[in-house]
Amino acid sequence: MRVLGIETSCDETGVAIYDDQQGLLAHQLYSQVKLHADYGGVVPELASRDHVRKLIPLIKETLREANCSAKDIDGIAFTKGPGLVGALLVGSSVARSLAYAWNKPAVGVHHMEGHLLAPMLDEPVPEFPFVALLVSGGHSMMVKVAGIGQYEVLGESVDDAAGEAFDKTAKLLGLEYPGGPLLAKLAEKGEAGHYKFPRPMTTKPGLDFSFSGLKTFAANTIRASDGSEQTRANIAYAFQEAVVDTLAIKCKRALKHTNLKRLVIAGGVSANKQLREELAAMMKSIKGEVFYPRLEFCTDNGAMIAYAGLQRLKAGEIEGLSTKARPRWSLEELQKV
């Protein structure tokens, strides 16, 4: 089966074609970073309009790259939610229209399931069951995964997610949007021992996340600092260290809770070098395994949607013509495949 995947949940337009025999045939990604940079964050209306402009040309380019035409496509997958409702509606409308015109089945994919399955785009493929830490821009979530569609949410954000905290703290440090990767780069120049940031919700039982207090602590620290480049780097170092330690503590707690030794990390924050190094060391210490997506598939992309959609199309899931976007959607509502 060969599936065209479409991702338009936020500020990146992603299109890909995945074949269950040949793997990923082609993928294209357009980022709206420059469009939203002047505003310091994503403007939903602008995001939706840009998806309208870019989606059809990207689909054409992806088909050309894969040397495919409509007759070579067996199904279409699109991000149904969660995300910005206007952006989701662009992708779902185009996907359903193409499916109707080409007489192909279509299926809506849960955005976070796409991230969760992204490590399966490359070898080695993690075997079920495993614990997944999903850390994208707006989500921090710990999930026990028994199989595709068999998800138990062990903990999630109660306020700011890790990615949001990175971006907001970066803005406080005077870095451009999106600030998360720039903060991580600035932290490389920082020195340990100058600041000690809290590790939120690690002294309490449970696996929920809260990063708003850490962001506030960072804001107060920045306000009281001398503002020099080295001081800013030291603050970035301490902030990143606190986020990474918090995520690692929660992962270790989740693995112990589930009695598992296999960990999957996905979402935009999973590209963070410090996080990868700390979790790799932690998993080595307990003789476990850790899996990540390829760096280009950590952020939103069409490949993960094509892969997840293929699994659901093969299981017989098909959307009707009245498909609606779901800006809020629990992973636990998904059907077992």
Residue 35 to residues 141, 260, 267, 300, Cα–Cα distance (Å): 28, 43, 22, 17
Residue 224 has pLDDT above 80, yes or no: yes
157 labeled part of a ligand binding site: no
Which pLDDT value is given to residue 324?
84
DSSP state of 22: T
Q: Render pLDDT for 36-67 as a digit per residue (tens, 0 to 9).
A: 998 989 999 999 999 999 999 999 999 999 99
* Residue 154, CB-side half-sphere exposure with 13 Å CA sphere: 22
> Which pLDDT does position 34 carry in this prediction?
93
Is 147 annotated to bind ligand? no
206 dihedral zone (left: phi>0; alpha: psi -120 to 50; beta): left
Q: DSSP letters along 229-280, please?
A: HHHHHHHHHHHHHHHHHHHHHHHHHHHHHHT--EEEEESGGGG-HHHHHHHH
| Every domain of the chain and the residues it spans | 2-117+297-333, 128-292
DSSP, collapsed to helix, strand or coil, labels residue 43 as: coil
- Nearest alpha carbon to residue 58 among 109, 1, 12, 9: 12
Residues 6+ apart with CB under 8 A from 221: 195, 197, 235, 238
Q: If you average pLDDT over residues 64-92, what whole number do you get?
A: 97
Say if residue 279 carries a ligand binding annotation.
no
Is 133 within any annotated ligand binding site? no
CATH 3.40.50.150 fits domain 2-117+297-333: no
Q: For the CA atoms of 315, 318, 319, 325, what is the dihedral angle to 10 degrees?
A: 20
The whole-number pLDDT of residue 264 equals: 98
> Is 103 annotated for ligand binding?
no
Could you tell me which of 154, 264, 132, 143 has the C-alpha nearest to residue 208?
A: 154
pLDDT tens-digit readout, 137-181: 788 999 999 999 999 999 999 999 999 999 999 999 999 988 999
Other Cβ atoms closer than 10 A to 56: 12
Q: Is the pLDDT of residue 323 over 90?
A: no
Q: How far apart are CA 203 and CA 251, in angstroms?
A: 14
CA angle 222, 223, 227 (to 5 degrees): 60
**Which residue in 5, 130, 122 sits closest to 73, CA to CA?**
5
Q: Note the pLDDT of residue 149.
A: 97
* Distance from the first to the final alpha carbon of the chain: 16
Pairing of strands 289-291, 262-266: parallel
Q: What is the pLDDT of residue 138?
A: 82
- Output the pLDDT for position 50: 98
- Its sign, for the CA torsion 189, 192, 195, 201, is positive
Q: How many CA atoms lie less than 13 Å away from 251 in the CB half-sphere?
A: 33
pLDDT bin (cut points 50, 70, 90) of residue 14 is very high
Model pLDDT, residue 322: 79
CA distance 30 to 103: 27
Annotated ligand binding at 38? The verdict is: no
Rounded to 5°, angle at Cα 78 from 76 and 81:
155
The response to whether 110 counts as a known ligand-binding position is no
Is pLDDT at 234 greater than 90 in this prediction?
Answer: yes
Q: Is there a binding annotation on residue 23?
A: no
In CATH, the number for domain 128-292 is 3.30.420.40
Encode pLDDT of 308-321 as tens digits: 999 999 999 999 88
Nearest one of 274, 251, 264, 267 to 135, comparing CA atoms = 267
pTM of the complete model: 0.96
Q: Per-residue pLDDT for 128 more than 90?
A: yes
Whole-angstrom Cα distance, residue 196 to residue 191? 12
Query: How does residue 77 score in pLDDT terms, banded at 50, 70 and 90?
Result: very high
Residue 20 is labelled as binding a ligand: no
> How far is residue 104's CA from residue 86's CA, in Å, rounded to a whole number?
24
Same-fold call for 2-117+297-333 versus 128-292? yes
320 annotated as ligand-binding: no
pLDDT at 92 over 90: yes
Whether 134 contacts 143, CB under 8 Å: yes
Q: What is the pLDDT of residues 267-313, one digit of tens each?
A: 999 999 999 999 999 999 999 999 999 999 999 999 999 999 999 99
Residue 111 among known ligand-binding residues:
yes
Question: Tokens at residue 175, please?
Answer: 């870095």
